[in-house]
Amino acid sequence: MSTLFHPSLYRFAEAQPSYWEASAGTPNLQGKKLEGDQQCDVAIIGGGYTGLSAAYHLVRDYQVDVRVLEAGHIGWGASGRNGGFCCLGSSKLSVKTQISRFGIDETRAYHRCLVDAVEMVRALGQDEAIDFLPQGDAEYGVAESRKHFAAMQSQAEFERRELGMDYHMISQGEFAERGYDAPHQHGAMVIRPGFGLHPLRYCQGLAEAAERRGAVLHPHSRVLQWRKQGDRHLLETADGTLTATRVILTGNGFMPEHLHRGIAERPLPIQSQIVVTRPMSPEELRERGWFTQNPTYNSKRMFFYYRVLSDGRFMCGGRGNHIGDPLGAGQVFTRMQREIARMWPRFADLEFTHQWRGLVCFTRTLRPSVGRMPEDPSIYFGYAYHGNGVANASWTGRALAQWLAGADSGNDLLPMHLPAIMRGRSPRFPFGFLRRQYLRLGMTYYRLLDWLDR
Ligand SMILES: Cc1cc2nc3c(=O)[nH]c(=O)nc-3n(C[C@H](O)[C@H](O)[C@H](O)COP(=O)(O)OP(=O)(O)OC[C@H]3O[C@@H](n4cnc5c(N)ncnc54)[C@H](O)[C@@H]3O)c2cc1C
């Protein structure tokens, strides 16, 4: 099976050497790999937030007979290795473009869903006693220059007025006391709701809750072939076959595109890489000019996202290259460490203890993709959170469950109960095999804009 990126990104039997894997503990999960011929009503491909949340809500609210097939361990994909920002977002279209294309009402509805998604994860953690180590009470967007601060200020005002968002600005001096003190910060936007969490613990807790309520999870069960026999789907793994009446296809940046023509060449996976330092005590953090637990990003187009973790480590993430090879990834990790020293000179001597990478998912339309396959309406899908899936993939899983099992499912191919911005399947990329080259051009262009804008 050929892969879009370097094969090293698709080793399903191996866990990432992430800080999350090192600190999550062993989950209390009973699921075994699929063996022999098995049946269910709804089969879900992919054991990340989208698939697990769909499974959890299908069993909890509708008592549906559900099984999840996951190629690696539960949370092997982006859901177990992300930055843990449980924050707003999921489209890369600017708000002004959203309004001009979809209208103000749809844009407002979409933003209400984003807020609901963050609240939903917080509530899930409480309801199911998931110990995902929540941190902070907002997300910060840090201006890299005075010009960026002014642009953010007018964005905050606009979105507060037009969409009712809870955004406000704090000055450079105030942020130096509440956030962090460093040469490249020129004030920040405070974005609510938003918080940080331990992504793998959240994923495992969601899986445990789904199992407790009756979902059957099959880790290490990569779907290799997907056939249709009459109106039944046959999902074949190395050791078994699962027969189902309906399928929810997830996968996001790791989408198994080869399984169905209806999904091929539609997602745009992009590498994201993360480094983590040794822990610091609260006193040491204060001495080094760091005062916040809130997840934070900076205002460049090729931005960094960063936060202090619950044990005082500093975590920073950014884009990887367009190839995905280990050598190139190593060069990116080295560049990130150099950038950290430049951006936060007081962190320059810290040792790094963990580094890892994974794939996020964009689309041609720069918005999430939720729907039913026009060629076969018994297939539902949800993907493309544009690097913001902790809250939004969880929310989409619930929306898929409600749609599939709920009274309002009807015959719509599009989830008409969801805002238009998320509806429908993203278009195919022309000459899809060139997607990494498009990405390369796009990243070069954005780097150039960032350089001109410095
Ligand atoms: C490094 C990194 C940092 C990120 N940081 C953040 C962040 O801070 N905040 C945020 O909101 N989002 C972040 N994201 C994005 C977020 O993690 C994703 O949007 C979200 O996890 C998507 O969930 P998912 O369930 O749709 O996909 P995934 O979690 O990727 O799950 C898809 C699963 O499908 C499985 N699969 C693939 N092929 C098959 C097959 N043939 N058979 C069975 N299973 C298969 C994969 O093994 C995988 O586990 C980050 C992502 C990365 C990679």
- Give residue 454's pLDDT: 77
- Model pLDDT for residues 163-195, shown as the tens digit of each residue: 999 999 999 999 999 999 999 899 999 999 999
Angle of helix 104-127 versus helix 199-212 axis, rounded to 10: 80
423: nearest Cα among 360, 364, 372: 372
C-alpha of residue 393 to centroid of ligand 1, in Å: 9
Q: Whose CA is nearest to atom 11 of ligand 1?
A: 388
Q: Supply the DSSP symbol for 228.
A: E
- Model pLDDT for residues 188-244, shown as the tens digit of each residue: 999 999 999 999 999 999 999 999 999 999 999 999 999 999 999 999 999 999 999
List residues near ligand 1 (CB under 6 A): 12, 45-51, 69-72, 76-79, 81-85, 222-223, 250-254, 256, 272, 274, 317, 358-360, 383, 385, 387-390, 393
- Give residue 413's pLDDT: 84
Q: Supply the DSSP symbol for 428.
A: P
C-alpha of residue 359 to centroid of ligand 1, in Å: 7
C-alpha of residue 168 to centroid of ligand 1, in Å: 30
pLDDT for residue 407 is more than 70: no
Residue 193: is the preceding peptide bond cis (ω within 30°)?
Answer: yes
For range 236-253, the mean pLDDT: 98
pLDDT for residue 300 is more than 60: yes
Domains of the chain, residue spans:
7-82+200-269+365-433
Q: How confident is the model at residue 408 (pLDDT cuts 50, 70, 90)?
A: low
Percent of the chain scoring above 90 in pLDDT:
94
Amino acid at 162: E
pLDDT for residue 410 is more than 70: no
Quick check: 246 and 235 in contact, CB under 8 A? Answer: no
Domain at 7-82+200-269+365-433, CATH homologous superfamily: FAD/NAD(P)-binding domain (3.50.50.60)
Structure tokens at 244: 């189902």
- Model pLDDT for residues 334-366, shown as the tens digit of each residue: 999 999 999 999 999 999 999 999 999 999 999
| Index of the ligand 1 atom closest to the CA of residue 86 | 11
Separation of alpha carbons 223 and 221, rounded Å: 6
- Model pLDDT for residues 71-118, shown as the tens digit of each residue: 999 999 999 999 999 999 999 999 999 999 999 999 999 999 999 999
C-alpha of residue 77 to centroid of ligand 1, in Å: 4
Structure tokens at 325: 């090879």
40: nearest Cα among 67, 7, 62: 67
Structure tokens at 115: 């807020």
Integer CA distances (angstroms), 145 to 20, 140, 244, 286, in order? 33, 15, 54, 24
C-alpha of residue 192 to centroid of ligand 1, in Å: 24
Which of 197, 223, 319, 360 best tests ligand 1's pocket when mutated (most atoms within 8 Å of CB)? Answer: 360
For range 119-140, the mean pLDDT: 98
CB neighbours of residue 436 within 10 Å = 18
Rg (CA), the chain: 21
DSSP labels, 27-74: ---------EEEEEEEEEE--SHHHHHHHHHHHHHH---EEEE-SSST
C-alpha of residue 60 to centroid of ligand 1, in Å: 23
User: What is the pLDDT of the chain when averaged over all its residues?
Assistant: 96
CB neighbours of residue 444 within 10 Å = 11
- Give residue 194's pLDDT: 98
| Index of the ligand 1 atom closest to the CA of residue 386 | 19
Question: Is the pTM here over 0.85, yes or no?
Answer: yes
Structure tokens at 103: 């209208």
